[in-house]
Amino acid sequence: MKYKSTRSENFDCTSAEAIKQGLSPDGGLFVPVSFPQFSIDDIDAMKNLSYQQRAVKVLSRFLTDFTSGEIEECVSNAYNKESFATESITPVYKLNNQVYFLELWHGKTCAFKDLALQILPHLLTYSIKKTKDDRTAVILVATSGDTGKAALEGFSNVDGTKIAVFYPVDGVSKIQKLQMATQDGNNVAVSGIEGNFDDAQNGVKKIFTDKEFIEELNKRGYILSSANSINWGRLVPQIVYYFSAYADMLKAGEITLGEKVNFVVPTGNFGDILAGYYAKLLGLPVNKLVCASNTNNVLTDFINTGVYNKNREFYTTDSPSMDILISSNLERFIYNISDNDSTLTKQYMDSLAKDGQYSVSDDIKAKMSEILWGGYCDDKDTAISIKDTFEKYKYVMDTHTAVGKNVCDKYLFETDDKTKTVILSTASPFKFNKAVLSAIAGEEAVKNKSEFELLDMLSEISGLVIPKSLAQLKDKEVRFGGKINKEDMKQFVSGFNM
Ligand SMILES: *Cc1c(COP(=O)(O)O)cnc(C)c1O
């Protein structure tokens, strides 16, 4: 399998090179040149496989320059008893006769990003070796909260790597901040940024396109790489759980072979939902992909009007991992639905960079509406969904998942679609305990409570056990409490133990 850029016809490379480089030299994203089909029999056969075996099947289609032994090793290093609290890795929870939750938060950091970031370091170190390179990979991450911690956990103490993580100082939850500030490992660094997520992300992008600085690092034996969701090595593992959910539902008799299902995806950078679209391209019977946003509803507007416009107010919400105005992975989707038109894709992306907006052709808009349905909800409705779902089903959702549930309800009501629908549950409710508890028990109940009192309280109300990694935060030393201006990110990287 070859990979090329979304923005020109000048490159093609192996998966190892795509994973090693992260971003294409022309500023585009790497995409596979084709999507090898899974037949209905292939999908049926997945019923009786473990998550790890399903992962090997999917990854093998795309990482053709890896041996099956290498893929198996990466998979078993990533998805195991130490890293995930459930044997099935991503269990499906049945809410009622139509709606299901795909729980993606049983990993170490309690959010879905573990699924990709537990395996990425292994894919990356193999990729560097495979391209006959002996440099140390320096991973730079801009995070709205969950990516940072998941990347730190994934890369911590992995030989041949260093990782620096930047987060918007007022844009993450207390638990998220504490998770990052207490990170172990001899190859990690973390800092807050004065600004929002897009400032942090733009700062990282700037470093990635700073030729002089890259050259200097190369001379010192380092190669810059990205663990953000633009890296192909993060996207491809996310395709697996769509197949896994389908196989589990098939096995449980919830659907029949070939029956289409909807997936509702709480969306920020458009990575998770793009993986669902790729699953559909591979042959998974997917009906609609429902794109759920919070008040930062730039994607909802785009799906409904064909105009992507980031020139709007930025809101800090109770679902901070979705507080994003530039959804980087949308570029891959545009590229694909424009029939791999790199000239047009580049034109749109240039216009986004220059004017903060672009508007797609009627053709592309129509194609997009066939595949996607977009909706959003604000913090108030998020809280109502959490409370209603708890009262009706005794099921506790985190705020991001609740945005998904709210938009799912809107979609099913407005379209009267009877298709079985799976909501991607992207974080543990314990990670966003304050917002979840004020929704269920009222604001008074959470007033003046410490993070750890809140964890206990949520455990009592929900009957769920507090995830070990969160309970342990209480006793961990804060190693990284600082913050810097966005202009100083390069200096921070340069000075980081290199
Ligand atoms: C990152 C994240 C999202 C958004 O996923 P994207 O791939 O950026 O669209 C949603 N929910 C949670 C909990 C997240 O951490």
Alpha carbon dihedral 274, 279, 280, 281, in 10-degree steps, equals 90
Specify the 3-state DSSP secondary structure of 442. coil
pLDDT one-digit tens code per residue, 220-240: 999 988 887 889 999 999 999
How far apart are the CA of 274 and the centre of ligand 1, in A?
A: 12
The closest-lying atom of ligand 1 relative to the alpha carbon of residue 400 is: 11
How far apart are the CA of 291 and the centre of ligand 1, in A?
A: 11
Bridge partners of 263, per DSSP, are 289, 422
List the pLDDT tens digit at each of the 498 positions of the chain: 999 999 999 889 999 999 998 889 898 999 999 999 999 999 999 999 999 999 999 999 999 999 999 999 999 999 999 999 999 999 999 999 999 999 999 999 999 999 999 999 999 999 999 999 889 999 999 987 788 999 999 999 988 899 999 999 988 878 889 999 999 999 999 999 999 888 898 899 899 889 999 999 999 999 988 887 889 999 999 999 999 999 999 999 999 999 999 999 999 999 999 999 999 999 999 999 999 999 999 999 999 999 999 999 999 899 988 998 999 999 999 999 999 999 999 999 999 999 999 999 999 999 999 999 999 999 999 999 999 999 999 999 999 999 999 999 999 999 999 999 999 999 999 999 999 999 999 999 999 999 899 999 999 999 999 999 999 998 999 999 899 999 999 999 988 866
426 in contact with ligand 1, CB cutoff 6 A: yes
The closest-lying atom of ligand 1 relative to the alpha carbon of residue 146 is: 15
What residue ranges in 360-426 does DSSP mark as E strands?
372-376, 421-425
Name the residue of 272, 291, 329 whose CB sits within 8 Å of the most ligand 1 atoms, as the mutation to test its pocket: 272
Name the residue of 175, 232, 322 whose CB sits within 8 Å of the most ligand 1 atoms, as the mutation to test its pocket: 322
**Vertex 408 angle, CA 51 and 313, to 5°:** 105
What residue ranges in 370-446 does DSSP mark as E strands?
372-376, 421-425
**Vertex 448 angle, CA 446 and 454, to 5°:** 45
Check: CB of residue 146 under 8 Å from CB of residue 266.
Answer: no
DSSP letter at 46 equals G
Check: CB of residue 442 under 8 Å from CB of residue 458.
Answer: no
Burial of 468 (0-12, 13-18, 19+ CB in 10 A): exposed
Specify the 3-state DSSP secondary structure of 356. coil
333 in contact with ligand 1, CB cutoff 6 A: no
Q: What Cα–Cα distance (Å) separates residue 89 from each residue in 84, 248, 314, 470?
A: 6, 12, 34, 18
Rounded to two decimals, what is the model's pTM? Answer: 0.94
Name the residue of 232, 270, 321, 372 whose CB sits within 8 Å of the most ligand 1 atoms, as the mutation to test its pocket: 321
DSSP letter at 195 equals S
Q: Where are the domains of the chain?
A: 92-111+233-474
Assigned CATH topology for domain 92-111+233-474:
Rossmann fold (3.40.50)
Instruction: State residue 153's pLDDT score.
Output: 94
Instruction: State residue 172's pLDDT score.
Output: 85
267 in contact with ligand 1, CB cutoff 6 A: yes
**Vertex 2 angle, CA 236 and 327, to 5°:** 45
pLDDT one-digit tens code per residue, 372-398: 999 999 999 999 999 999 999 999 999
297 in contact with ligand 1, CB cutoff 6 A: no
Phi and psi at 474, nearest 5°, equal -55, -40
